[in-house]
């Protein structure tokens, strides 16, 4: 998926320039995780992880995949990366920076792979 809007390109570049954002995206490519687990795994304060997650979700790089309700009525969200690769291309003749996002495997893709694996 190619991002053409200049303002969104700039925002994505700023987010990806942040090492912690890249680490969060990498950690959540293969499976969704709650903020507390991301925080513990990466050594980033919970408050910062929430801020990064919000920014990444706003840009379409991350999604709240599902909510989990725990005993006692508490709940939390599991977050997953929406992209598995980002390619940046600079076209000097147009002074244009293009961003191509390679989508992460969706739930339907995972189901179809599992279905095929099971021999159905």
Q: Looking at the domain covering 2-117, what would its CATH class be?
A: mainly alpha
25 contacts 83 by C-beta, under 8 angstroms: yes
103 contacts 81 by C-beta, under 8 angstroms: no
Each residue's pLDDT, cut to its tens digit, for the chain (120 residues) gives 787 788 888 899 999 999 999 999 999 998 999 999 999 999 999 999 999 999 999 998 998 888 778 788 888 899 999 998 989 888 888 888 888 888 887 656 666 666 776 665
CB-CB neighbours of 31 under 10 Å = 10
Q: Which two tokens stand for residue 94?
A: 């147009």
pTM of the model: 0.80
- Closest to 88 measured CA to CA, from 101, 74, 75, 76: 101
Q: How far is CA 39 from the centre of its chain?
A: 15
Domain boundaries, the chain: 2-117
């Amino acid at each position: 998926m190619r991002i053409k809007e200049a303002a969104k390109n700039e925002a994505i570049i700023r987010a990806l320039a942040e090492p912690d954002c890249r680490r969060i995206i990498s950690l959540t490519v293969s499976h969704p995780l709650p903020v507390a687990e991301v925080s513990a795994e990466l050594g980033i304060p919970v408050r910062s992880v929430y801020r990064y997650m919000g920014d990444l979700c706003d840009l379409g790089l991350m999604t709240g995949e599902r909510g989990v309700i725990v005993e006692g009525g508490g709940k939390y969200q599991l977050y997953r990366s929406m992209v598995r690769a980002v390619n940046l291309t600079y076209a000097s003749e147009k002074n244009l920076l293009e961003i191509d996002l390679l989508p992460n495997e969706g739930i339907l893709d995972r189901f179809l792979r599992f279905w095929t694996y099971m021999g159905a």
